[in-house]
A and B are shown apart, each in its own frame.
Chain A
Amino acid sequence: MRENVVIRTVSRIAVPFIQVFALYVIVHGALGAGGGFQGGVVFAASFILMTVAFGLTSVRKRLSNKWIVVYSVLGITIYAGIGLLCLLMGGNYLEYGVIETILGIPHLHGYLLDAVEIGIGITVMAVMTSIICDMADKGGESS
């Protein structure tokens, strides 16, 4: 790829901010506009920018296919795990209030909601990145 100082420098500066903003969107999801899906997409956008600026190999170095799979499973496990935990505690699926009442920790349902959003965010980030990586790939072995 042809060196382009402007793109690389801007990307290098922008990527951390995009990622922080993504985290903000994810955590903000409990209170207002935002949430795991949107935040996950924004987070993936930072990797997409890196793919554009630095090439696929440098992104693959930071986030290999193996980790993408692990992340996508991890995120959905957090989501489903908390949902099932609510079932075990005697509530409905994803009824966080039950756990709060049983454990007696104030505002726990808010934290659990954030945890679920983070789980969704991780999965969305991983899947989005894997889509971009697969498209940027030359169509070889990618599983």
Chain B
Amino acid sequence: MIDHLPPLLIAVPILSALLILLVGWYDRRFCYPISLITILLQFGAAIAILVEVMREGTVRYHLGGWAPPLGIELVIDSFNSYILAVILFLSVATVVYARRSVEKEIDPEKRVSFYVLFQLLVTGLAGMTITGDIFNLYVFLEISSIATYALIASARRPRSYVASFNYLVLGSIAAGFILLGIGNLYVATGTLNMADLAVLLPASYGLATVHTAFLFLLIGFSIKVAFFPLHLWLPDAYTEAPSAVTVLISTVMAKVSVYALFRIVFTVFTTAYVIDTFPVTGFILFIATVAVIAGAILAIAQNDLKRMLAYSSISQIGYIMFALGVANQIALEGGLLHILGHAVMKGCLFMVAGLIIYRMGTSRFSDLKGIAKTMPISCAAFALAGASMIGIPPTIGFASKYYLVLGALEAGQWIYAAVFLLGSLLAAGYIWRFIEIAYFGDHHAEDRRQAPAREGPVSMLVPMVGLALLCLFLGVFVEVVMEAVRPAAMLLLGGA
């Protein structure tokens, strides 16, 4: 049975997405349980695959029994089994969180389609993660993107329509770049299988077609991950989407796009290409450092909690791209660790923001003065995840930044390491801003009695607190995670 898990991971959820649609016609209340069960099953399957990969090595699955260069192949190695487990874990947390949040934010008659799209998004992202075929990757990318456009607009406010349309345009441009890049690779080699491409490409490294393909793919995925100068869709999309959707796209979708970029750069094109033939890592390192600083400064300048966290995401994507720029073992370990770490802490922070919106109806800083008195658990979770975002020692954020800086120092990039640490200091700036407002913000407004806001429902508190504690536990037991991260980083650099 375990051999057949990879295709089931995609086929069953697609079926269940449409089952949600059908059952939703009969009774809307059945939609949520189906969605929850499906994502739990997917998570179970992802864990089973992760264990299998760590024990037996790479799992390959030939769809329809057709051998790779001809047929589509699902490949799960130590890199994407780790990513798969991370994204499905966060999907589980999000879907638990989503139920009450959706009841508040989505019109009843739109909930059916909301869960269908939610399910399709998770499935598309899981598909992107496990496929070994570059065109298949594009198909799943489009499935997840289209689901995202609709989900962002599902808040049904004028501003969310604009945000969604904005993302639709930029996302389509990105998809166009990616498709052109894939087309060029196909022209140069005549294959779409990633492993096959990696074998055939070195012969044509000198071709302009291949350089163009690389640049197109790099630009396309940079838009998708919101890498600094191409991030323009992100702040609006994250701010205007319903809370549950923000949590999902900021944690899961962003991470899968990063995965796809890493996969293209390191597996399809190898380190030999990006360092020697077409030296681009230095440039990426520079832009990544700019992204870290610029994202943090823009985050400090915001006066809305959700928007601030959105800009912070741009800064954090810079950290992960920093690993790509340094491209040595230790930095990549840090980068992969940061994929997990950032997913967990940003998921928690957006959950807090969602909970505050759930209770207060707003996330503007001016309305949140002294909110720690009415929502102590949420603010504590924010403080914990925020500490991780800054990189205070026992948390996961510290561990990943430690490895990143260590990697940069090993590569002799002293200046970048220093600027990188400055970025962490700026992170302290924007995280502290909310902490100050939440805990000490009501000195001058003692008499202003606000509506009696309380903590949110338990089903929203549990995943939020869980993720906050996870920031701490993962940081303390970082060696357990490194067991999965180390072989993945090694694999990316072309080692065993």
Contact = CB atoms under 8 A, between A and B. Distances in A.
B22 A70 contact: yes
Most buried by A among B4, B14, B19, B61: B4
Given A93-B4, A143-B109, A143-B112, A77 B62 contact: no
A113 to B, nearest CB: 10
Contact of A97 (B4, B65, B110, B112): B65
B22 A93 contact: no
Interface string B84-113: 000000000000000000000000011011
A2 interface: no
Given A77-B15, A80-B11, A143-B110, A69 B25 contact: yes
A96 B63 CA distance: 11
A72 B113 CA distance: 14
A80 B24 CA distance: 20
A73 interface: yes
25 contacts: A66-B25, A69-B21, A69-B25, A73-B18, A73-B21, A73-B22, A76-B14, A76-B18, A77-B18, A83-B7, A84-B11, A87-B8, A92-B61, A92-B62, A92-B64, A93-B8, A93-B11, A93-B61, A94-B63, A95-B64, A96-B64, A143-B24, A143-B109, A143-B110, A143-B112
The B interface is mostly helix, strand or loop, or mixed, namely: helix
A94 B4 CA distance: 11
A94 B64 CA distance: 4
B11 A69 contact: no
Interface in A55-106: 66, 69-70, 72-73, 76-77, 80, 83-84, 87, 91-98
A72 B25 CA distance: 13
B65 A69 contact: no
A3 interface: no
Interface in B300-331: none
B383 to A, nearest CB: 41
Contacts of A97: 65
A77 B14 CA distance: 10
Contact of A93 (B15, B64, B113): B64
Nearest to B1: A87
- A-B complex: 9 closest residue pairs judged by Cβ atoms: A93-B7, A95-B65, A94-B64, A73-B18, A92-B65, A73-B22, A80-B15, A80-B11, A76-B18
Contacts of B110: 143
B11 A143 contact: no
Contacts of B63: 92-94
A116 B359 CA distance: 48
A80 B112 contact: no
A87 B109 contact: no
B42 to A, nearest CB: 15
Contacts of A96: 64
B65 A73 contact: no
A62 B430 CA distance: 58
A130 B63 CA distance: 30
Contacts of A87: 4, 7-8
Nearest to A76: B18
B18 A72 contact: yes
Nearest to A93: B7
Nearest to A81: B15
Interface string B104-135: 00000110110000000000000000000000
B221 to A, nearest CB: 26
